[in-house]
Structure 1
Amino acid sequence: MRILELHDLREFLSSPKKVVITNHINPDGDAMGSALGLQHYLEKSGHQVSVVIPNDPADFLKWLPGAESTVSADYHTAQAERLFSEAEVVFCLDYNAIGRAGELIAPMIESSEARKVLIDHHREPESWPDDMYSDIAKGSTCEMIYDLIEMWDGQADVGEAIATCLYVGIVTDSGSFRFPSTKPSTHKAAAFLLERGARPELIHERIYDVNTKSRMKLLGHLLDTMQFVEDRDIAILHLTKEVMNKVGYTKGDSEGFVNYGLSMKGMRMSVFFREDGDVCKCSFRSKGELDVNHFARKYFNGGGHLNAAGGLFHGNAEEAITAVREAIEKENI
């Protein structure tokens, strides 16, 4: 389903405005790429633009053009509040529910008198924004920003910085172009961004060739302790606080771990739990028509896409594994 309700937004932006762009908590490549890509585009039109993020991204995303100027709300809360209070328009990127902006930024969005614009590709978007561009058929918000620029300006203003940021989000959210959401339009967008200066070899190196010793040790433990729901072709992976502390876990070390379960021959679904304080962060991946968005929403306080979703479980990894096994039986997946 595609929702395009931008009303007179293009006309509204025809004169310089104070703009805030924000994304979801623990911003990934698509969240950071879309926010920074849109920032560079709007700045070319004379707007005063600030990117306010809920918390810092993983280190492998901090090289993106403009990343050094972002305002992290968990470190600079007062500055973030001031920017939201002064904003004339707020762009909310790569999330469908205001709670995904985090406990610091969500209230800032709600209290802001700015015009609020949601651009996102996740299912079942909430209805609070003034303007909305939602398209669940798209594989990334970065591709949607590309489409928006094309719609408004015919891509005339896309330079190397914009191309790099948007290419990063398209590559990471498409699983390097292997997920079902990858369409001919995805490759057309990527090809154009390469023409405008995105360097795939450099981007791949900075995104994927960044394994740390702690990540490799965690991966070894993860694979060694992998469990299976044998009669369902489902893999379950987990990391405990004890193991992460032992190897010196750093933010981003577990990025993409959920995909290892799904990479095994015959697997239909992969589940990954990572202990974080008193809760477990949950990731779900699937193949075909197995709907992990519905599964995550119903049982794990989350959601996302048909074949990729996230969630939250209140308890430790052992309890989460018991809960997911019970839910799998109940749903007869």
Structure 2
Amino acid sequence: MQNLEAFKTLISTPKKVVITTHHKPDADALGSSLGLAEYLKMKGHDVTVITPTDYADFLTWMKGNDQVIVYDEGNEEESCQLIKEADIIFCLDFSSLQRINGLGDKVTEAQCVKVLIDHHLEPEDFADFQMWSTDAAATAELIYDLIHMLGDESLISKDMAEALYAGIMTDTGGFKHSNTTRHVFRVCGELVDKGADAAKVSKLVYDTNSLDKLKFLGYALSERLTVMPELNTAYFAISTEDLEQFRSRTGDTEGLVNYALSIEGIKFAALMIDRTDVVKISFRSVGGFSANEFARKHFEGGGHKNAAGGKSDLSLEETVDKFKQLLNEYKNELSNPINTYA
């Protein structure tokens, strides 16, 4: 944390605090937000978590979920008032204000202290305080580190520990991605010491699937997966009709792109989903090929080197065609033998 002593002074007296995170929050976004919220409440602050959109049902077990305000579910006026009255706004797990949709302009306009805590590449320069590191596997890891730096580890409750553990667990892919460092294991071990039930958290996040979600997964794998072995690339193209057929809910497509990347020899994977107004895209890669650079250059996106997102205003079919044409520009990089740990 830059200017740690000034930050300590800032939070030393009760403040009105708003915490927000990116649209369609995942376990790291929500876990870090609710974990930080619980900590700040223990310090005497008046804290509200506002998310731009809804999130998956498998995250609703986290303590504080019932008090989260979802901006785009008819809570625009209340959210704007809370942001206007805030003394501090914490922005967690996103590097660009575009990632919080309509809340972005409200946060920009707010005349208060802003704090960015994030681990994505190329953060915008809008915050008064910043705790940012691409070396961190998850924003939840940074939240734990911040509490540690402030000397308040004793305040970490079982509920906080489980929320933070969920964020780290998922952003490391269940501790199998290359961002799983010694520090990650040390932090998770200390969270378990604080009461986090690792088996319970894993069960709640990974093993509470609906039957529709599993049927959708089978359909996507059998009917919507395309493999391009000559370019070591695989992708899914999911239509609006596909989503409707399987009554898809928020979170049902999360992790789908990883199935494409899991195919032997695949270096680059994409998931393109027609969300009616825009085609949302997830990119994953292994080794030296940068999913972030590809997303940023061609699809108004970004993220991490090997995990990024983007969007397209074209139709789904046109987006797929654009994606395939672009791959030819990277033929030399993609067609080389895979080196997972480059």
Alignment correspondent of 2:185:
187
1:139-288 matches, cutoff 5 A? 139-224=137-222, 225-288=224-287
The CA deviation string for residues 263-292 of structure 1, in whole angstroms up to 9 with x for no partner, is: 111111111111101321100111111110
Q: Residue 99 of structure 1: CA displacement?
A: 0.7
- The question of whether the paired residues in 2 share the 8 Å contact of 1:41 and 1:157 is answered with yes
Q: What secondary structure, in the 3-state scheme, does the structure 1 residue paired with 2:61 have?
A: coil
- Any gaps of 5 or more consecutive residues in structure 1? none
- The question of whether the paired residues in 1 share the 8 Å contact of 2:121 and 2:134 is answered with yes
Q: What secondary structure, in the 3-state scheme, does the structure 1 residue paired with 2:22 have?
A: coil
C-alpha distance in 2, partners of 1:18/1:90? 9
The question of 1:28 aligning with 2:26 is answered yes
Q: Residue 212 of structure 1: CA displacement?
A: 1.5
Name the CA shift for 1:102/1:7 in 2 (closer, same or farther; >3 Å): farther
Alignment correspondent of 2:294:
295
Name the CA shift for 1:172/1:178 in 2 (closer, same or farther; >3 Å): same
- The question of whether the paired residues in 2 share the 8 Å contact of 1:300 and 1:313 is answered with yes
C-alpha distance in 1, partners of 2:38/2:152? 16
The CA deviation string for residues 172-218 of structure 1, in whole angstroms up to 9 with x for no partner, is: 11100111111000000000001111111111111111221221222
C-alpha distance in 1, partners of 2:115/2:297? 27
1:47-66 matches, cutoff 5 A? 47-66=45-64
The question of 1:127 aligning with 2:107 is answered no
C-alpha distance in 2, partners of 1:22/1:259? 27
* Identical pairs, percent: 36
TM-score (norm 2): 0.94
Alignment correspondent of 2:107:
109
TM-score (norm 1): 0.96
Match of 1:258, as an amino acid? V
C-alpha distance in 2, partners of 1:18/1:243? 43
C-alpha distance in 2, partners of 1:316/1:163? 43
Q: Residue 7 of structure 1: CA displacement?
A: 6.3
Match of 1:294, as an amino acid? E
Match of 2:264, as an amino acid? K
C-alpha distance in 1, partners of 2:4/2:152? 17
Q: Residue 315 of structure 1: CA displacement?
A: 2.2
The CA deviation string for residues 31-74 of structure 1, in whole angstroms up to 9 with x for no partner, is: 00000000011111111111111111111111111111011111
Alignment correspondent of 1:79:
78
C-alpha distance in 1, partners of 2:11/2:311? 37
Q: Residue 4 of structure 1: CA displacement?
A: 3.5
Match of 1:34, as an amino acid? S
C-alpha distance in 1, partners of 2:261/2:279? 20
- The question of whether the paired residues in 2 share the 8 Å contact of 1:6 and 1:132 is answered with no
The question of 1:67 aligning with 2:74 is answered no
Q: What is the number of residues matched between the two proteins?
A: 330
Alignment correspondent of 1:312:
311
Q: Residue 154 of structure 1: CA displacement?
A: 4.8
Alignment correspondent of 1:95:
94
- The question of whether the paired residues in 2 share the 8 Å contact of 1:52 and 1:71 is answered with yes
- The question of whether the paired residues in 2 share the 8 Å contact of 1:7 and 1:131 is answered with no
- The question of whether the paired residues in 2 share the 8 Å contact of 1:5 and 1:133 is answered with no
The CA deviation string for residues 84-113 of structure 1, in whole angstroms up to 9 with x for no partner, is: 11110000000000111112x112101111
Q: What secondary structure, in the 3-state scheme, does the structure 1 residue paired with 2:227 have?
A: strand
Q: What secondary structure, in the 3-state scheme, does the structure 2 residue paired with 1:156 have?
A: helix
C-alpha distance in 2, partners of 1:41/1:136? 23
- The question of whether the paired residues in 2 share the 8 Å contact of 1:262 and 1:285 is answered with yes
Q: Residue 219 of structure 1: CA displacement?
A: 1.1
Name the stretch that deviates more: 262-271 or 30-39: 262-271
Name the CA shift for 1:230/1:55 in 2 (closer, same or farther; >3 Å): same
- Any gaps of 5 or more consecutive residues in structure 2? 335-342
C-alpha distance in 1, partners of 2:98/2:305? 20
Calculate the aligned-residue CA RMSD, in Å: 1.3
